[in-house]
């Protein structure tokens, strides 16, 4: 019987994210998730039919937890249409991801695991593609300067900056990361 208590389910998925970030995909077991969540043995297996479903749900939960705040979305809708606004939005995005370090590391683990699991690759491809399309559409609809390629270039540049900051944090300190975000925006978005 699969359980449906949404709070418990989310707690188990959050525990799966922590396990993925700490122990990698091979360490993601029902027992490890139960232990991380502090629940009785067998709880995770009551909520998820198999490990593959844990992988999928961890990927969904990462995106769910990283949704921009209402304030950020309001700034996107009502702020000035300048490169500086884009820099502020990109800085906010990087800060949100850095604030959920284990989530991004878990996502990297999921991406690596997806190279071995075609079903997971298909799901992640669909999810990431939808996220990219959402960001491009929001950018274009907002009237901010730059085009779809500008958004894609920022996506690619900032994702690798995030990987460096999370995996080798001594490469770029906070000040250098801030400077690089600003430089990426200046180079990707044409001056008006």
Whether the per-residue pLDDT at 2 is higher than 80: the answer is no
**pLDDT digit string, tens, across residues 142-151:** 999 999 999 9
Contact 155, 133 (CB under 8 A): no
Percent of residues, the chain, with pLDDT higher than 90: 83
The predicted structure's pLDDT at residue 105 = 96
The predicted structure's pLDDT at residue 191 = 81
- CA of residue 58 relative to chain centroid, distance: 11
CA distance 59 to 170: 27
- Averaged pLDDT, 75-81: 86
Please state the pTM of the whole predicted model: 0.88
The predicted structure's pLDDT at residue 110 = 95
Whether the per-residue pLDDT at 3 is higher than 80: the answer is no
3-state secondary structure the chain: CCCCCHHHHHHHHHHHHHHHHHHCHHHCCHHHHHHHHCCCCCHHHHHCCCHHHHHHHHHHHHHHHCCCCHHHHHHHHHCCCCHHHHHHHHHHHHHHHHHCHHHHHHHHHHHHHHCCCHHHHHHHHHHHHHHHHHHHHHHHHHCCCCCHHHHHHHHHHHHHHHHHHHHCCCCCCHHHHHHHHHHHHHHHCCCC
Percent of residues, the chain, with pLDDT higher than 70: 98
**pLDDT digit string, tens, across residues 88-142:** 999 999 999 999 999 999 999 999 999 999 989 999 999 999 999 999 999 999 9
Q: Which domains does the chain have, with CATH numbers?
A: 6-61 (1.10.10.60), 69-188 (1.10.357.10)
């Amino acid at each position: 019987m699969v359980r449906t208590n949404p709070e418990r389910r989310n707690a188990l998925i959050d525990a799966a994210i922590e396990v993925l970030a700490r122990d990698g995909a091979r360490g993601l077991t029902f027992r490890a998730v139960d232990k991380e969540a502090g629940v009785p043995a067998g709880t995770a297996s009551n909520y998820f039919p198999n490990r593959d479903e844990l992988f999928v749900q961890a990927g969904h939960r990462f995106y769910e937890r990283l949704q921009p705040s209402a304030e950020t979305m309001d700034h996107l809708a009502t702020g000035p249409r300048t490169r500086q606004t884009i820099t502020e939005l990109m800085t906010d995005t990087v800060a949100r991801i850095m604030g959920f370090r284990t989530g991004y590391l878990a996502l990297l683990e999921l991406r690596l695991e997806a190279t071995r699991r075609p079903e997971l690759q298909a799901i992640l491809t669909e999810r990431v593609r939808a996220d990219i399309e959402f960001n491009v559409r929001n950018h274009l609809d907002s009237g901010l300067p730059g085009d779809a390629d500008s958004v894609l270039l920022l996506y690619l540049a900032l994702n690798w900056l995030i990987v460096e900051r999370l995996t080798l944090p001594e490469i770029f300190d906070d000040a250098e990361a801030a400077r690089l975000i600003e430089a990426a925006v200046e180079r990707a978005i044409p001056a008006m």
